A and B are shown apart, each in its own frame.
Chain A
Amino acid sequence: DSGVTQTPKHLITATGQRVTLRCSPRSGDLSVYWYQQSLDQGLQFLIQYYNGEERAKGNILERFSAQQFPDLHSELNLSSLELGDSALYFCASSEGVFGNTIYFGEGSWLTVV
């Protein structure tokens, strides 16, 4: 158990809908990262927050957004969902802002039908 908690574990939704994935980082970790894992693209970095502020952006679509709250939990919002958004979405956390020893949660499996 990495200490990173993600909910929900599985989610099935229809195209055009919006979903929110939730993440609680490890105790004491200030950085939260979101990654997407799909068969064709592998593990891709989406975005990082540190202590409530966005710190780095990767291949995140404009239809997706994230935020980190004062209690350090984070949410990833996916809107106008398309079939191609079906993937495993991982949250990860680390103590500092520059990564190092990043621990991953178990993921949220999103299926868009």
Chain B
Amino acid sequence: GESVGLHLPTLSVQEGDNSIINCAYSNSASDYFIWYKQESGKGPQFIIDIRSNMDKRQGQRVTVLLNKTVKHLSLQIAATQPGDSAVYFCAENRDAGGTSYGKLTFGQGTILTVHP
């Protein structure tokens, strides 16, 4: 969907806490989802992805949960560190059976601030 940069949701946590960032997607045909982290002045950095035939996937300190029933995606960051402070975007992509050929639709982003 469209992003409105001036009204990004924010999440503030203390160092060591677990963080949960949520994302709602609108296209029920999307079957591949990706979380990106973007630090100030840098490009989006791939964190983790998940296909629609899964409901959970774990990486290093990160877990992505997918609820297709309500079209909701979440990113959990364990033991959040100050270096995790950034804007986090969810993105959706269609599979080979779709027509978007890898076109990503990004969410509006969430600003995560981790306090030492």
Which residues of A line the B interface, CB within 8 A? 2, 4, 31, 33, 35, 38-45, 48, 50, 55-56, 58, 90, 92, 94, 96-107
Contacts and interface: CB of A to CB of B under 8 A. Distances in A.
Contacts of B108: 42
A113 B74 CA distance: 40
B46 A50 contact: no
Is chain B's binding surface mostly helix, strand, loop or mixed?
Answer: loop
B106 A43 contact: yes
A104 B102 contact: no
Contacts of A96: 102
16 contacts: A4-B43, A41-B3, A42-B3, A43-B89, A43-B104, A45-B103, A45-B105, A48-B102, A56-B101, A56-B103, A58-B103, A90-B43, A96-B102, A101-B34, A104-B36, A106-B42
